Each structure stands twice: as structure tokens, then as C-alpha cells.
A and B are shown apart, each in its own frame.
Chain A
Amino acid sequence: MAHVPQESAAGLLAREESCASITDAITSLSLRRRSGRLWLSGFALAVLLMLGLMFGIGWLLALGVGIWGLNIPIAWGFAITNYVWWIAIGMGGTFISAALYLARQEWRTSLSRYAEAMTVFAVSVSGLFPILHLGRPWFFYWLFPYPNIMKAWPQWRSSLEWDFFAILAYLIVSILYWYVGLIPDFAALRDRAGRGTRARLYGLLALGWRGEARHWRRFETLSLLLAGLAVPLVFSVHSMVALDFSEAVLPGWHSTIFPPFFVAGALFSGFAMVLALGIPMRHWLGLEAYITPRHLENMAKLLLAVGLFVDYSYVAEIFTALYSMDRYDVALTLNRMFGAYAWLFWTTISCNVLTIQFLWWPRVRASPVALFLISVAVLIGMWLERFMLIVTSLYRDFLPSSWGMFYPTFWDIAFLLGSLGLFFFLYLLFLRLVPVISMFELRRLADARPQASADGAQVRS
């Protein structure tokens, strides 16, 4: 990557930061910092929720999907909502890491690592739900094309089969992308871990990385190409999630706007999650020197921009439905706004349309607390939006005799909270064990500033 001009590095990294100080600060987070009471209590809570999920999965395997509030007409309840919500959160991480890398946005440097980690964990969590929702989850491998004694093949024309390939590819590519970027940083940890188990662990993970110039070149070529692949992957994967809906001939789902609408929604909730994770992390780990107010401000602007795309989609959806004068589309739209689930619609609107308008004010964008609250509101709003899309299209079928409501059970809630538990279990481990900021990229950023020499001494002109 080209050397950074002086002004673009300004505000991203303090003047006194050098290659050595960056490496010391980030590696000691994994090597020397104690866990602390806050981390331990968060971890205990996450494990507790995760155990709830594990127990729930066992219960589900024993009794079937009936333990959820699923019924006809609403056969897609919390499980598919959770799936769409989690995989969408993953999209934001990839976008920040890959698309902003291609666009040479230097400020992504401090955010990319934990955003990628968030992606990997969110996609892992999301992949559970379609499998658990299958009815007979232990046959999920039937989705995979393999020669079998039943002489059967998967149904290639089904969007659920496309989804399987999309999740599979997305999960593996995001893990590879994350891991490749981690190799040089694992090497830094290895070199600072002294002797013992941790040095051996990081040594194995670093694969013997030494930072030779030819190695760096191959590494950079690969990073660039992987980023170039990840961006279309993000768009295609979430389009396929949308096709799960729009392939069905149901008012509210059967619409060509769905793939771009879902991609915008995915980026929206992903950016919100990056802020919601980053602001407490920055405070707790003392990363204010690396995740600066300028980073938060830029993220807030991105959140607002992509939020406006989502809001536009809401308007377009309502307009198209009413303009079409299709009686089912019109009925569905009015039902969403004024029917039994009107509270869902209006809560979604207040979270995803009204709340983000505060981001127009620079003072709001400068306040971490306000940004945190807004992004949590967006995350809640995006979960409710998916839930609304699912239940309002299903609860009033074409036949009034089959109308019905969805009532979540204890296990619905347990699976939702358990998925959060599983995510935070992985994320909190990541905070303790893995460099949370891409050190080698930050070193390059530090080196590109003209004033600082590499050993940290300031050369004042």
C-alpha cells in the first residue's frame, strides 16, 4: 500500500506512538494484562447463557422444533430471525475490513481486526439456526452433495440449498481472511511470550512467520485479492439470505427489492455492532490511543449513511405495495402498520429511522455514550425488523381460516439469549488471547508519518 499522506494519518494515531510502543501496548493486552473482575463476570454470564443454549439444543434434539412457539401459519419464528440477524452482523465486519481496505481508508486499520473477529463469531452463531430449524438436524449433511446409498441429490433449485453454500463459503473465507491477517501479529506475540506454553501456542499459530520481504509481498498480494473476493461475497451471501424470502410467493416477501434491501440492512446492523462492541472494548482495554474519536465519528457517519439506505427501502417497499394496488400487498402493508403487530413496525421505525437522525449532529457523533446507545437501539431495531418481516407475512395467510399469532416460548428466548452468550463467549476469549488491533498495519501507519523515527524518538523540525 502506498505511503500515507500526512493529513490522512492525522487524528488516527497520536504523535508519540511508535512501532515499539504499539507492539508493547497490544501484545501486553494478551500477555501481561490480568483478566479483571469485569471480564470474569462478563465471561461467567456468557458461559451461563451458552450453557442454556447447549441445554436447549439437547432438548430440541430430543423433542423437536415444537419446543419453540412455531406453528402453522407461522413456521419461521425466532430461529430464522436470529439467523438473519447474526449473519447480517457478520457482513458489517467484512465490509469494514475488506471494502475499506480496497478503498484505502487508513482509519479502518484499528477497527479491522475486531470487526473481522466479530464476523467470524457472528457467522458461526448464525449457521447454527438454519440447521437447528431443520426438524431433523442430525440429517443436515444431506444438504451437502455426496454420493449416497439413497441415490438422491440435493435440490439445487431451492434457495435453502444456495444458502447452505453461501454460509459455508462465507464462514470459511472469513476465517481464512481473519487468520491470514493474524499470522504476523501472532509472530509478535510469540517473540514476546518468553518461554512456555503460551510461546509454544503462539509459535504454532504464527506458523514460523519471520517477516521476510518476499514473504510480505506474497502476503500483501493475497490480502488484496482476499479483500477483493470478500466484498462480492458479502453482497452475494446476503442476497441469498434475501432470496430465501423472495423466492416464496408471499406478499411482503416476494419482491425484487429484497436482495439490496437485505444487504443494506446487513451493513447497517453490522456497523452498529462494530460500534456497540468497540466503544466498551476501547474503554475497558484502554485503547483510546488507537480507536480515536475520529474512528468513532467515521463509523457514525457510515452508520447514518447506510441507515438512510435502509430507510429508503422501507419507503420504497410501502410505496410499491400501495402503488401496485394488489389487494394482498395492500392488506399486508396496512396490517404491518395498523394490525396486531403494529407495535413491531413502529418500534422498528423508531429504532432504525428516528434514532439514527441524531447522528446528523456532530456533538452526538463525538459522544461515545450516545453512539453506544444509538447502535444498541439499531441492533434491537434490526432484530425486530427481521421478526416483523417474518411474522407479518405469515400470520395472515391467504385463507382467513388459517390466521394465527406467534407466541414465543421460554426456549425461544433461551435460544436468542444463548446465541448472544455463545457470541460473547467467543468474543471475550478473543479479547484475552488474540491481538485486538492489527499491529503490523498500525506500525506501517506509524512509520508513514514523517516526524516519528522508528525507535520512537521525536525529531522536531
Chain B
Amino acid sequence: MKGPPSCALLAEFATAEQLLAAVAKVRQKAYARSVEVYSPFPVEGLADLLGTRSSRIPFGMLVGAIAGGFGTYALEWYAAVIDYPLNIGGRPLASWPAFVPAAIEMSILGAAVVGVLSMLLGNGLPRVRHPLFAVPAFERASADRFFLLLHTAADDSVDSRTLLQSLAPISLSEVGE
């Protein structure tokens, strides 16, 4: 996500269906990157309408799992075989079945930590201050209202205000910075 541009318009809608229709209409006229959509719960198909690429979170989590699991296994092997070998009745030093439990737990932990971090980083969070929070109507984005934000500076090919007004929103406000 890029930082807020000089000017943007925020349209408010009452239902997810109206929002989906509005997004479809705006997308015919404007670039995807100049449209942002806010909803109080994940709306099926909304992200697809915006033409988002598939997420890189699963791949990151796979890497985290492999790093956690194999890293732990390598540490166990190094400690038990090279650095601190204990000869217990001539039993094998690299007793791999005993190394598996810790490695499994750490691979799950690695995947979870990488997943949460990449969700936050991908979403540009934490970001406690945002121009949208200055818009009074936006309070209801976390309750029951649906919002469409159109960055006008990023996309001067359309007359944004006319376009948004043609969608009959409940309210239309300017988001400044």
C-alpha cells in the first residue's frame, strides 16, 4: 500500500451488494491501484474485483516452517553428535526419531510467526495514524457501513466526484492529507 495521495474521495454504502456493484462500476473507469475498499467483515469476491495478486503469505509460511524445522533438527544433530556426544551403551549418537518432536513443534512455530509478520507487513500495519481516521463517517467501517475510497491524484483520467455521485452513496467525503 502506498502512502495517502494529496486528495481522495470516500463514498459510503449501506450494504455489501451496493459496494460490490459500485466497485465493479468504478473499476471500469479507474485503475485498481487508485481504489480502496473498506468493509466491516471480509466480503466474498471483493478482493478479486480489485484484481489483487495471490498472496505470498503461504510461501512465506512454508519457508518459516522449513527454517524452524530443519534449523531445530540441525541444532539437535550438531549438539548431540559433534559438540556434546554422550556415549550411552554404544547407542547411535544421531538418534533421529528423538529429534523429531522438537523439530515439528518449531516448524509450526516458525510458520505461524512468519505468517503473522507477513500479514502485518503486507498490510502496512501497525500504522496507528491514518488520514481516514479523521473522517467522522468512517467510524462505522468497523460496524455496518461499506466504503469506497478513490484516489483522485493517482488517477486523473476520470471525474471522480461525478463518478462516485452517480453510484448514489449515503455520504461522500473528502479525505485530505
Contact = CB atoms under 8 A, between A and B. Distances in A.
> Do A and B truly interact?
yes
B43 A213 contact: yes
B57 interface: yes
Interface in A11-48: 18-20, 23-24
Contacts of A191: 138-143
A213 B42 CA distance: 7
Contact of A162 (B37, B101, B144): B101
Given A18-B144, A209-B125, A210-B132, A443 B37 contact: no
A214 B38 contact: no
A156 interface: yes
Contact of B46 (A190, A216, A219): A216
Count class of interface residues, chain B = 35 or more
Contacts of B55: 217-218, 221
Interface string A217-250: 1111110011001001100110010010000000
Contacts of B39: 211, 213, 216
B116 interface: yes
Contacts, number: 204
Main secondary structure of the interface of B (DSSP, over half): helix
Contact of B144 (A19, A210, A221): A19
B5 interface: no
A233 to B, nearest CB: 5
A173 B124 CA distance: 22
Contacts of B132: 210
Contact of A153 (B79, B105, B129): B79
Count class of interface residues, chain A = 35 or more
B77 to A, nearest CB: 9
A236 B101 contact: yes
Main secondary structure of the interface of A (DSSP, over half): helix
B42 A217 contact: yes
Contact of B95 (A157, A233, A441): A157
25 contacts: A1-B44, A23-B40, A23-B143, A153-B79, A154-B79, A162-B105, A165-B72, A165-B102, A172-B109, A172-B112, A173-B109, A180-B119, A187-B142, A188-B40, A191-B140, A191-B141, A191-B142, A192-B142, A210-B141, A214-B123, A215-B123, A216-B39, A232-B108, A236-B104, A440-B40
What are the 5 A-B residue pairs with the smallest beta carbon separation, nearest first?
A: A19-B144, A207-B126, A153-B79, A208-B127, A169-B105
Interface of B: 1, 14-16, 36-44, 46-47, 50, 52, 55, 57-58, 61, 72, 75-76, 79-80, 83-84, 95, 98-99, 101-102, 104-106, 108-109, 111-113, 115-116, 118-120, 122-123, 125-130, 132, 138-146
